[in-house]
Amino acid sequence: MTVTPGAPRRWLFTLTILAGSFLLFLVQPMVARMALPQLGGAPNVWNSAMLVYQALLLGGYAYAHVIGRFSLLKQGIIHLGVLGLGALTLPLALAEIAPATSGYEALWVPWLFLLTVGPAFFAVSAQAPLVQRWFAAHPHAGNPYPLYAASNLGSFAGLLTYPLIAEPLLPLGEQSLFWAFGYVALIVLVAVAVFSRRGVADIPRPAPEEDDHAPATGWKTIGLWLALSAVPSGLMLSTTTFLTTDIMAIPLLWVIPLGLYLLSFSIAFAESRAIAAVFVFLAPVILLLDGGLSMFAADRSDLLAAFASVILLFVTAVALHARLYDLRPHPSQLTRFYLVMSAGGALGGLFTALVAPVVFDWTWEHPLLILAAAALVPLGPWQHLLARFSKNPQTTRTVLIVSVFVLFNAAMLLYDDVRGKASLEPLEWLALGGILLVAVLMAARRWSYTLATLALLVALGGLTNVKMSLEGMRERSYFGIYSVREQSDGDKVLMHGTTIHGIQRTGENHLEPTAYYGRASGVGLALATAGDQFGSGARIGVVGLGVGTLACYHQPGQHWTFFEIDPVVLSYSRDGQFTFIEQCAPDADMVIGDARIELQQLPADSFDVLVIDAFSSDAIPLHLLTTEALEIYQQALAREGVLLMHISNRYIKLEPMIARLVEARGLQAMVLEDPADEAEELYSSSWVALAETRAPLDTLSATADWRLLVEPEGEVWTDDYASILPYLVWENFL
């Protein structure tokens, strides 16, 4: 007996897809935030998390494709069963596993995320292709692919909801609980959707006459699907690395590239093609302009470059995904299409998150992905437009070859002229803009456009970076990219990305403290007076090694311990490149690992002075600024000990947040702001001194113009709750 199907109920299937995608991408930053107390603030933590999510998404799409052989009713029953099994792991909580072994973080972090969120994420990840397949089975359903746009719109909403609503308003425990309620609601929606398709057969195959005109889905087409999916995925992660290295490793910034990446699907897969067509037309221009600019500013901490990288990602992703949409197969191959797309996304993530940090000593993945995008981005509108200027193919070929050569040399001359300058003159910006705009004319042919992109990437900094790589001047680890540079006066500088991580002079003053650690700084004064306060056997702990500058404050009889999470940083202080440790504190203990975890394992009353200086540029590991972290520091300190915290930051007002922590823990505190002295290579710094009693601070306050902290603001930060939104210095982002 055949049951006549009812209405297609597009609204129901759209709502189900939206709900599943919303939950899927709400949980990503939530679990990453849960892991911060164990993983710190390295940008690669988020990339590792994304790799796990992409792998689970691939598994979910493969599962959706495999069960497509069954009837719609059986598919629904199977999927409801899988959702039920995933519900057994709720509410989500971080898996309890042994801490990571140093050097194996790239494997340990994905394993942690997999155990924490794997079952539930896998169950929800199959939502989009399965529900679209069920919708398309109705004889009057129409085109199911726009529902994928709805899926990514839900994903985008989930990402925005976390940093703007969930994180500022709810502690992690409540976030997890509300997510579990949403998961149960999703099961109900899926059950209703399955019930609405009772009696409906599977998607009919195309009629023979339709099949004859349909594009063949051979290996070449499948390979193109993979490439068009992998490149935007890789670009998304490489852009994330750039943003979070010099600003802050928090979900607020993690979600920007991922959110735009998802939004690109909503535009590219929309039923109306007008907006996607605009992006396709703009993409070749944006790719050349912002691609060249991102390479040009690669060694500068520049918010303009960050903005350009984000625009590049968004526009390019829309264009590549629009081409992917144009290559979509008949709905009968829908789950296969999404499976290949997911595999491409996972390949892009694998390349950026695992392969690149091991193979490359610099972020070479970013220019390589830009070049790959140039080989794939649609050029049709520009080819038709530029074809009007020349009807002779031979003439066009000659002009393009000469133009690429001229373009390369002009870009090289400009780069050599402005290299080393802190900022560009208006005429130099005009010349750079002219070079990039002329390069757009290369879009007349695919080969010339790709060569023009390569020429710009090489000329505007690529050759310089190749030279640095060949000379072995850089090292890359899970936690960052480091390079040693020698200034014109012979001083050595350790760079962490675009940020100075430490300086050592030459000559007779080679052991004089520099950067943020001058003798008039808060930490300099505290360490210089440690012998007077705590005796000749004072015990000093320092979280964050850098080049070991603080070791120059070591005094005979003192016992020093340095905590450093990255073995690569330690090597710079031990291989002779920087000699602070070797000449000032050769007997200091070196502890490799996350300082918070290592400090927790020490006996109480281990230090008289404890310095917290583990911030990389303006990227702050939130897990070092919570009440739980402060409790660990207090336990490690002697009763009359002093805690020094470095809070210098361009984008976040940390002082009012520290004041709230001080209030919550019942501590005494004061702050010293030390101005910069360029002649002595000293930078402005803000150091907060904290203690359980007033006595040690009274002694320290006599050394300089220390002041009390500003009034507390916002909620106290805990491992369960922290939001930077109240403390952002918005004008510094402009």
Query: Three-state secondary structure along 326-390?
Result: HCCCCHHHHHHHHHHHHHHHHHHHHHHHHHHHHHCCCCCHHHHHHHHHHHHCCCHHHHHHHHHHC
Domain identity same for 564 and 461: no
Highest mean pLDDT pick, 22-36, 158-172, 368-382, 718-732: 368-382
With H, G, I as helix, E, B as strand and everything else as coil, classify residue 676. Answer: coil
Distant-in-sequence, close-in-space partners of 222: CB < 8 Å, separation ≥ 6? 340
Q: Which residue has the higher pLDDT, 301 or 698?
A: 698
Q: State percent of the chain over pLDDT 70.
A: 87
Number of folded domains in the chain? 3
Q: Supply the pLDDT for residue 299.
A: 60
237: in domain: no
CATH label of the domain that carries residue 499: 3.40.50.150
The whole-number average pLDDT for the span 107-125 is 86
Shared domain check, 659 and 703: yes
Alpha helices in 247-333 (DSSP H): 251-268, 274-296, 303-326
Q: For position 78, which CATH number holds? A: 1.20.1250
Are residues 560 and 447 part of one domain? Answer: no
User: CB neighbours (10 Å) of residue 395?
Assistant: 10
SS3 content of the chain, % helix, strand, coil (to 5): 60, 10, 30
- The pLDDT of residue 631 is above 90: yes
Average pLDDT along the chain: 84
Domain end: 178, 204, 230, which one? 204
Of 73-82, 397-406, 616-625, 705-714, minimum mean pLDDT range: 616-625
Q: Strand, helix or coil at 88?
A: coil
CA distances from 182 to 118, 185, 190 (A): 17, 5, 12
Identify the residue with better confidence: 153 or 520. 520
Of 304-308, 364-368, 593-597, 702-706, the one with minimum mean pLDDT is 304-308
Q: How far apart are the C-alpha atoms of 436 and 431, rounded to whole Å?
A: 9
d(CA 49, CA 34): 12
Domain closes at, from 204, 227, 248: 204
Residue 674: its H or E element: strand 668-674
Does 591 share its domain with 697?
yes
- Quick one: 443 and 566 in the same domain? no
Verify that 145 and 40 share a domain, yes or no.
yes
The residue ranking higher by pLDDT, 243 or 592, is: 592
Is the per-residue pLDDT at 616 higher than 70? no
Identify the pLDDT of residue 635: 95
Higher pLDDT, 1 or 200: 200
pLDDT tier at 491, thresholds 50, 70, 90 = confident
The larger pLDDT score, comparing residue 328 to residue 488, is at 328
- Lowest-confidence range among 94-103, 216-225, 258-267? 94-103
Residues in the chain: 734
pLDDT band at 346 (very low <50, low <70, confident <90, very high): confident
pLDDT at residue 450 is higher than 80:
yes
Among the ranges given (60-64, 244-248, 480-484), the one the predictor scored with the smallest mean pLDDT: 244-248
Q: Does the residue 74 lie in any domain?
A: yes
Domain membership flag for residue 345: no
Structure confidence at residue 216 (pLDDT): 55
**pLDDT of res. 373:** 95
Please determine, for residue 4, whether its predicted confidence score (pLDDT) is greater than 90.
Answer: no
Q: List pLDDT tens digits, range 476-486.
A: 887 778 888 88
Q: Are residues 534 and 648 in the same domain?
A: yes
**Which stretch of DSSP H or E encloses residue 639?**
strand 637-646
Domain shared by 456 and 535, yes or no: no
CA–CA gap between residue 670 and residue 686 (Å, rounded): 11
Higher-scoring residue by pLDDT: 203, 265: 265
* Residue 65 in tokens: 């494709």
Question: Quick one: 516 and 452 in the same domain?
Answer: no
Give yes or no for residue 62 having a pLDDT over 80: yes
Q: pLDDT tens-digit profile of 414-430?
A: 877 776 665 667 887 78
Read off the pTM. Answer: 0.79
3-state SS of 492-523 is EEEEECCEEEEEECCHHHCCCCCECCCCCCHH
Question: Looking at this protein, which amino acid is placed at residue 441?
Answer: L
594, part of any domain? yes
Answer yes or no: do 517 and 462 share one domain: no
Do 575 and 512 fall into the same domain? Answer: yes
In a domain, 352, yes or no: no
Look at 251-265, 368-382, 515-529, 693-707 and tell me which has the smallest mean pLDDT. 251-265
Residue 568: pLDDT over 80: yes
Instruction: Work out the pLDDT band at 384, boundaries 50, 70, 90.
Output: confident
pLDDT at 213: 47
Q: What is the pLDDT of residue 396?
A: 77
2 located within any domain: yes
Task: Report pLDDT digits (tens) over 35-52.
Answer: 766 665 555 666 777 778
Whether residues 662 and 524 share a domain: the answer is yes
pLDDT tens per residue across span 635-676: 999 999 999 999 887 778 889 999 999 999 999 999 999 998
Q: Nearest-CA neighbor of 525 among 645, 394, 702? A: 702
Contacts of 117 (CB under 8 A, 6+ apart): 27, 31, 52, 56, 92
Q: Which of 147, 176, 204 is the last residue of a domain?
A: 204
Closest alpha carbon to 672 in 706, 699, 700, 643: 706
Mean pLDDT of 290-311: 73
Coil, strand or helix at 425: coil
Question: Using CA atoms, how far apart are residues 727 and 611, in angstroms rounded to an integer?
Answer: 23
Strand order in the sheet with 539-543: 589-592, 559-564, 539-543, 607-612, 637-646, 685-691, 668-674
pLDDT of 110 higher than 70: yes
* Amino acid 734: pLDDT: 56
Q: How large is the average pLDDT for residues 612-638?
A: 82
In angstroms, rounded to a whole number, what is the distance separating the alpha carbons of residues 320 and 374? Answer: 10
Helix (H, G, I), strand (E, B) or coil at 317: helix
461-465, 540-544, 608-612, 688-692: segment of lowest average pLDDT: 461-465
Question: Residue 306's pLDDT band (boundaries 50, 70, 90)?
Answer: confident
pLDDT tens across 167-211, in order? 888 888 899 999 999 999 999 999 999 888 776 666 555 544 444
Range of the domain at 675: 493-733
Write down the pLDDT at residue 721. Answer: 83
Range 618-656 burial, b when 16+ CB lie within 10 A, else e:
bbbbbbbbbbebbebbbebbbeebbbbbbbbbebbbbbe
Domain membership of residue 252 (yes or no) is no
Question: Considering the domain boundaries, does residue 163 fall inside one?
Answer: yes
